[in-house]
Structure 1
């Protein structure tokens, strides 16, 4: 662990650890894989999430750390969903219905303040509510991604924007760059999945 947390290089007066650097590279590969609907994106998600769990726990971002462990479990679920769904019409790229929208928005609206309050009362997290909002929203977006709903991408755009602020406050500068880069990548993924959805509809 000491080796992973040691500086790989220094830029703008801040050290960038090997842990953050490796998690950064794997995360970029994971997002590109998700855009192309590659199964290997899920193992990459698990690996990058484990590394980020260590980084965030070390920085007392407990919500984000727990979220990364959730991502590891969801990577196994997402891999299984995509594997089984390769020949099933229900697992083609599709749009959310009213029930999915209601579940998603209600989960964020109720879950984020509840988690923020718990972190505030039960941990020494310096930013409990900033930590809680992207944590809960990311759970929702990951489920939408696993079920191949196009709308997972705009959720990620908003989540990444909030996360940029959170990581600026924690001075995780390489992760700031990563999550800033995730915003146009999510927009790109949104466009690619919209094209895939139109192709599926045309061939149906």
Structure 2
């Protein structure tokens, strides 16, 4: 799985390619608000954890383990939300979405900043990563994005747009060119997701 191959003109490995495909499937299902997105997220996180560890992106590697736990929680949240929608007469599979309040924005940004500070210090002191600050910043942002996705907040897409744009540069620097391309695709998909969830916030939940 770690033998070098070429895909779409990018040098990669079979494991990175598998992670690529699973990640795209995850975002597509998230856009449609389909709870099976979390299953794909769990598998893709496990695969990418190995890829990132081999590239000395320890913050991202450790993040994948957190993603797996967060995905289990998110899956539960979406299923519980779908049950509530069902009770109100909507069909399961596409939980309702909402927006952050001003207070929610403040807590989210504060959490991102605190997470960055703690992770940056940890990575700089206890690992041999050569990119502790950007790794920490994007790891903290990804955790926030996952939490907002699980709570079905539209602002998860704003978070992912910022994170994904910066990840493109980081992965090019680390030589993970296929993953850099993937995150460029994620930027476009996040814009699509933002538009779709904005529309969904003013409409009843519908089947995915």
Considering the TM-score relative to the shorter chain, is it more than 0.5? yes
Structure 2 unmatched runs, 5+: 86-94
Q: Distance in 1 between matches of 2:110 and 2:154?
A: 19
Find the counterpart in structure 2 of residue 99 from structure 1.
103
Tell me how far apart the structure 2 counterparts of residues 179 and 15 of structure 1 sit (CA, whole Å): 16
Matched length: 197
Residue 120 (structure 1) aligned to one of 116, 120, 124: 124
**Aligned-pair RMSD on alpha carbons?**
1.7
Deviation at 1:87, TM superposition (A): 3.4
CA distance in 2, matches of 1:200, 1:15: 44
- The secondary structure found in structure 2 opposite 1:31 is helix
- Give, in angstroms, the shift of residue 76 of structure 1: 0.7
Question: Which residue of structure 2 lines up, in the alignment, with residue 40 of structure 1?
Answer: 36
Question: Is 1:5 aligned to residue 2 of structure 2?
Answer: yes
CA offset digits 1:104-158 (Å, max 9, x no partner)? 1001112213211221111101111111111001111111000000110011000
State TM-score, norm by structure 1.
0.92
SS of the equivalent of 2:148 reads: helix
Q: 2:190 aligns with which of 169, 186, 196?
A: 186
Runs of 4+ in 1 over 4 A off after TM superposition: none
The C-alpha deviation readout for 1:143-197, integer Å capped at 9, x for no partner, is: 1000000110011000001111110110100000000000010000000011111
Aligned to 1:140, which of 144, 148, 159? 144
Pairing partner for 1:81 from 61, 77, 96: 77
Partner of 2:92: none
Distance 1:27 1:51 in 2: 10
Show the counterpart of 1:49: 45
Distance 1:140 1:153 in 2: 11
Query: Residue 98 of structure 1: CA displacement?
Result: 2.3
Q: Does 1:27 align with 2:23?
A: yes
Corresponding residue SS for 2:12: strand
- 8 Å CA contact 2:138, 2:167 repeated in 1: yes
Q: Which of 1 and 2 has higher RCO (CA within 8 Å, sep 6+)?
A: 2
Residues 135-144 or 96-105, more deviating:
96-105
Q: Counterpart in 2 of 1:70?
A: 66
SS of residue paired to 1:88: helix
